[in-house]
Structure 1
Amino acid sequence: MESLHLSVCRAVNDRLFTGIRLHDSISLSHLFYADDALLIGEWSDVNLRGIIQVLNCFRLASGLHINLNKSQLLGVGVQQHVVVDMANSIGCSVMQNKFRYLGVMVGECMSRSKPWDDVVAKLKARLSKWKAKTLSIGGRLTLLKSVLGASPLYNMSLFKVPKGVLKEMESIRNNFFKGANLSEKKITWVAWDKVLASKKKGGLGVASFYGLNRALLLKWVWRFVSNEDSLWFRVIQAIHGSRIDPQPSLSLSLWNTILKEVIVLKNRGFDFLAKCSKRVGNGSNTQFWLDNWIGGNSFCQAFPRLFALETNRNISVEEKMAADVESSFRRHVRGGVEMVQLNDLVSILDTVLLSPYPDRWVYSLSTDGTFSVKDTRSSIDDMFLPSHNVPTRWVKGVPIKINVFFWKARRDCLPTRLNLFKRGVTLDSVLCPICSGSEEDVSHVFFQCPLAQVILKRICRWWEVVWQHCSSFSEWLSWFSDIRLSSKVKGLIEGVFMVAWWFIWGFRNRLIFDSSPPNRSVIFDDIVSHSFLWCHNRCNKVFTWDSWLKNPNLISL
């Protein structure tokens, strides 16, 4: 037992996991026993005699004997002939079929599309046709953000999802959002990546699977960088070393795949490691040259000529600040570039004050300094998804379906007759079905049509605001921003305008598709009653029906 050290041994759900450190080998080897299956991974010059000794130690310590004749060996990231040699030497057989552990297929090559078929199938099962047909667009949006976004979370937190699988999953969500069956095609009025974008970028904030997958993978890098005392750090360091860069010799490694993705994101403009920095307290746990603890880069990158003179390249900030900067150099600094870099370094260090508190890592994308998957995912989406010049306006006092309708109307993504004609749909006429006075587009239906003008003027008289004629949403927003009301009351009246446009559009649809013409005289009454019902139920403070009818601009919220 002098040649090995049992580093980890634990039983989880009758499964034994042991990590063995072989002193005469160059890496930490894995041995995993689950349901009569032995699993090995990332072996290098393995001492098989030592493995048998570890199994005997486990038998003596626990009283449990592993029957190798009944066990099977499965290699992960190991060539098949190595697995066969291992099995023959240990005395067990080779497992031909993969097995599932904690919901993940062990032994599958997750860089291919086929192992993700189960995830895609589960996503399709949650998007049954009756759900898409019975839910409103607000209900479908809520389901996309909650249940559907979390369904593949476990697999995505461990493996990089292939591009084809990401595209298929986003296609499923897109069809569900449109209310279309997976086998049928409908007109796409707005690109799916614009729906995925955050509300501040003009989207609906659904968030992409790509950003979620990358944020979950980066969480493992944050754990490795920020917590050197954790078991995760010790295991990864023992297997792969402490370098945060991919190694060609470990291309099949899951950790190496994650590090490669860090490089890919950096090349695309998202430098994750630059957002992780040390906040120095006493400086005892921060490396002066190698850690990114002040400024945008580490000192070894910012001052390479001085770093070449350093004799103790792992020196801590505490030790370096306790003496002169040149005290640990192998020679005195000469003139030229070296002197310029020395003066710049000294000027930076003059602003540093150490404190008695311990050092800690901070993440610049989070307000509290700790890593957040949500903040990382949002940052990735904001960088890679399209951005609209106007943020999405969202009123909590009206239902989600009203907000989504208003969002689509502002983007001119409604099936007006002019839009249908532009997309090649054959129509009898492109004139407005309400007034027949002009071509039907979004601006005409909601602002220029006589019916819309009458309703908007009545709303302004009801709320005691001066109406100014507007011919588009941009003009309306400019007028609305000049109204002098409290922000909460302005939210109410904005919700009323949204409800008005919703009912105008509904009246237009009934006029086209219903057998009997709808009644125009009840439109305004429906707007008043429904807006009261929705705003009253969604506001924290209660206001009466009388105050809503008589003095809505004086409501106290």
Structure 2
Amino acid sequence: MFSRGDTKSIMLLLRAFKTFSKASGLCMNQEKSNIYSNGVDEGTMATLVRISGMKRGTILFKYLGVNISPKRLSVADCQCLTDKVVSRMRGLGATELSYAGRVVLIRSVMSTLHNYWARIFIFPKTILNKIEQLCRKFLRHGNEMKDSPSLVSWAQICKSRKKGGLGFKSMYWWNVAAVAKYTWWIARKTGHLWVRWIHDVYMKGKCWREYKPGSGVSWTRRKICWVKDLMQHHLFSGNFEVYTIRLGYSWLVNEGPDQTWHPWIANKLMIPRHGFNLWLVAHRRLLTQDKLVRLGIAQSNLCYLCGTEEESMEHLFFKCDYSRMCSRLMGDWLQTTIPDSQVIDWWLKLRTKSLKKKKVLASVLVALMYQIWSSRNKCRFEGFLCRPEELVRKCKVELKMKFRCNNVKSKFRGVCTWLDGLCQS
């Protein structure tokens, strides 16, 4: 509650509290309440503390979990947010998560912590860079202490799934889009008390679009005006009746065209860790032997599965004799033929097929690619290569469980019969 720093105003405020208490039965806890002042002399302040019965508080203080300060937030003020992110990374079982599990944790927990603060404050870039650095390390290693180059750039990761990313948000631009909501409120002259105060005290009838902050204004007000100038074309176009942070973010960040392989990643019948492996394949970021040789990490570029040709992603998944044998066995189970190359073109040609059948075929093929990659890594690091029949059996077990959990059905009788045959075979 705000009031003037004099005895009369405090008495009226306390009387209002008592009236509210009699009407509702709720009482103010004076032990948990503090009184803060600005520009009040010490004698008057001592009188106000004695009358109210509250303790005198000092700024900086916490309110609803965030730090409240009249000045620009410093790196030290935001350290508690960084500590919260680190604690979630070190939570129970977090280090044992797969790549797909880490993606979910970063998106649902860590970004949520940042979003809550970003709607209230303008962050220092140092803190935002620190949080993104922690997220990159955790995604790569499952540990925020280890560090090595990422397989995919963070700018690419911070794109929507349709654009080839993982659905993360750039923390800096999300913060700018959140602050832009205040400029939208000022432009629309909403009924918020803060907006009325801005217009009465600072604007004084001036045009917000043409407003320029003078010398001596606070850093926060200058930053809000900077955001207003940055997004002026969109904020004052009149094409939008309601502003949302997501809309403002789309104005600020150009994510590029949609990716043709997006439907594969968005397939709900796909096991998440298989989908993440496919995402790396689509970006050509798997560390196959040809890449390791170019990086100077490996000496030989021969395929670990067949040992006769150079190992590349095309060879590993479609040209290798081992992979071809696995594809033939999986094709027998699916009652179809899986091609040795141009898989995306083959999938797109299935337009006459049921959409449900297309999704099942896609999830099976991606599961096969994941198991082939896992078998290759096991052969490289442990010196053991499982037989194609054993690899296909693992695929079948995981896929049958996934189909049963998702209760996969189709409105076409032929597809239902085909799905039942897959789950029973």
Normalised to the residue count of structure 2, the TM-score between the two structures is 0.80
1:480 corresponds to which of 347, 350, 372: 347
Higher strand share: 1
State the partner residue of 2:304. 433
The 8 Å contact of residues 261 and 282 in structure 2, kept in 1 or not, is answered as no
Give yes or no for the alignment of 1:101 onto 2:56.
no
Give, in angstroms, the shift of residue 445 of structure 1: 0.7
5+ residue gaps in structure 1?
1-15, 19-30, 32-37, 39-50, 65-70, 76-82, 278-361, 364-369, 553-557
The 8 Å contact of residues 201 and 390 in structure 1, kept in 2 or not, is answered as no
In structure 2, how many angstroms separate the alpha carbons of the residues matched to 1:150 and 1:175? 18
Q: Deviations over 1:30-83 (max 9, x none)?
A: x5xxxxxx7xxxxxxxxxxxx55534544666679xxxxxx97655xxxxxxx4
State the partner residue of 2:24. none
Q: Deviations over 1:190-233 (max 9, x none)?
A: 11221111112111112221232122212223333345344443
In structure 2, how many angstroms separate the alpha carbons of the residues matched to 1:169 and 1:503? 33
SS at match of 1:139: helix
State the partner residue of 1:195. 157
SS at match of 2:284: coil
Give yes or no for the alignment of 1:525 onto 2:393.
yes
In structure 2, how many angstroms separate the alpha carbons of the residues matched to 1:539 and 1:192? 36
SS at match of 2:67: strand
1:381-400 aligned within 5 A: 381=253, 383=254, 390=260, 392=262, 393-394=264-265, 395-400=267-272
The 8 Å contact of residues 129 and 181 in structure 1, kept in 2 or not, is answered as no
5+ residue gaps in structure 2?
20-33, 50-55
Question: Which stretch of the first structure deviates more once superposed, 158-167 or 221-230?
Answer: 221-230
The 8 Å contact of residues 73 and 124 in structure 2, kept in 1 or not, is answered as yes
Higher helix share: 2
The 8 Å contact of residues 511 and 517 in structure 1, kept in 2 or not, is answered as yes
In structure 1, how many angstroms separate the alpha carbons of the residues matched to 2:45 and 2:383? 80
Give, in angstroms, the shift of residue 479 of structure 1: 2.4
SS at match of 1:251: coil
1:397–1:378 CA distance, 2 compared to 1 (3 A): farther
1:89–1:247 CA distance, 2 compared to 1 (3 A): farther
CA RMSD of aligned residues (A): 3.3
Give, in angstroms, the shift of residue 185 of structure 1: 2.2
SS at match of 2:2: strand
In structure 2, how many angstroms separate the alpha carbons of the residues matched to 1:551 and 1:476? 21
SS at match of 1:105: strand
* Count of aligned pairs between the two proteins: 392
Larger Rg: 1
1:548 corresponds to which of 409, 419, 425: 419
The 8 Å contact of residues 251 and 257 in structure 1, kept in 2 or not, is answered as no
Give, in angstroms, the shift of residue 170 of structure 1: 0.5
Give, in angstroms, the shift of residue 498 of structure 1: 0.3
State the partner residue of 2:9. 54
State the partner residue of 2:84. 122
State the partner residue of 1:538. 406
In structure 2, how many angstroms separate the alpha carbons of the residues matched to 1:478 and 1:117? 50
1:380 corresponds to which of 252, 260, 279: 252
1:242-257 aligned within 5 A: 243-244=207-208, 245-249=211-215, 251-252=217-218, 254-257=220-223
Q: Deviations over 1:351-407 (max 9, x none)?
A: xxxxxxxxxxx34xxxxxx332233334434x2x57675453321102221111101
1:449–1:230 CA distance, 2 compared to 1 (3 A): same
Q: Deviations over 1:86-133 (max 9, x none)?
A: 425845599776322332333363343222111111111111176443
1:447 corresponds to which of 315, 318, 323: 318
In structure 2, how many angstroms separate the alpha carbons of the residues matched to 1:174 and 1:490? 34
The 8 Å contact of residues 326 and 389 in structure 2, kept in 1 or not, is answered as no
Give yes or no for the alignment of 1:143 onto 2:10.
no
Normalised to the residue count of structure 1, the TM-score between the two structures is 0.62
Give, in angstroms, the shift of residue 187 of structure 1: 4.0
Give, in angstroms, the shift of residue 423 of structure 1: 2.6
Amino acid at match of 2:306: C
In structure 1, how many angstroms separate the alpha carbons of the residues matched to 2:15 and 2:329? 87
1:121-520 aligned within 5 A: 121-128=83-90, 131-226=93-188, 228-241=190-203, 243-244=207-208, 245-249=211-215, 251-252=217-218, 254-265=220-231, 271-277=233-239, 362-363=240-241, 370-381=242-253, 383=254, 390=260, 392=262, 393-394=264-265, 395-425=267-297, 427-470=298-341, 475-483=342-350, 484-514=352-382, 516-520=384-388
Identity of aligned residues (%): 19
The 8 Å contact of residues 375 and 385 in structure 2, kept in 1 or not, is answered as no
State the partner residue of 2:53. none
SS at match of 2:104: helix
1:390–1:248 CA distance, 2 compared to 1 (3 A): farther
1:32-47 aligned within 5 A: none
The 8 Å contact of residues 198 and 378 in structure 1, kept in 2 or not, is answered as no
SS at match of 2:305: coil
